[in-house]
Amino acid sequence: MTSGLRQRLRRLLQAGSSNHEIALGLAVGVCVSFFPVYGPQLLACAAIVAVFRNLNRAAVFLGVQFSWLYPLVLYIDYRVGRLLLPGDYPALGLGELREGGLPHLARLVRELFPMLLLGSVVAGAAAALATYAVARALLALLRKERHPVEEPSPAAGGGRLEGRNT
């Protein structure tokens, strides 16, 4: 793990945001990273954090930082889109995506864009849900001592509804 990524993670864990806000931000960033055109993800993240202010901004951008996975993400988009969209599409292997270079990837994205876009929506949503669940669980473990859950005190009603003697 690079020192830059390690520092970002440390700052994220020490942020004043709730576990929900951090996990949701990561999930949104991961979802956006499934968009089949490489590059506009950062612009999309900037627009999302401008509109949805309850997201942890650092977490959203951290979720998009895995550009080295782009060929794998594109392959997942392709496979999911091919399952969902009827048509005679060429068989495409992961090796072909990795070895073709940027011009080859650009040509494939242009040719297969509708299928890739549909696949990216479905796969991105699934990846976001998985990311949220894993991030919430990890944050609960990692931030347990720093952010303990406060139990209601008996003086504050102890969790009972006001006016009821139960």
Residue range 69-89: mean pLDDT, rounded:
86
Q: Which residue has the higher pLDDT, 92 or 20?
A: 20
Rounded CA-CA distance 119/82 in Å is 8
Report domain extents, the chain.
3-146
Per-residue pLDDT, 80: 94
Least confident span in 43-52, 56-65, 109-118: 56-65
Task: Flag whether pLDDT at 30 surpasses 70.
Answer: yes
Over the range 121-135, which residues count as b (16 or more CB within 10 Å of their CB) and which as e?
bbbbeebbeebbeeb
pLDDT recorded at residue 122? 96
Residue 159: alpha-carbon gap to chain centroid: 35
pLDDT of 73 over the 90 cut:
no
**What is the token pair recorded at 97?**
């995506």
Give pLDDT, residue 123: 95
CA distance 4 to 11: 11
pLDDT value of residue 103: 76
Mean confidence (pLDDT) of the chain: 78
Q: Which residues neighbour 72 within 8 Å (Cβ) at sequence distance 6 or greater?
A: 94
Across 45-74, average pLDDT: 81
48 touches 60 (CB < 8 A):
yes
Residue whose tokens read 């406060």: 150
The larger pLDDT score, comparing residue 128 to residue 95, is at 128
Q: Which of 34-43, 44-53, 130-139 has the lowest mean pLDDT?
A: 34-43
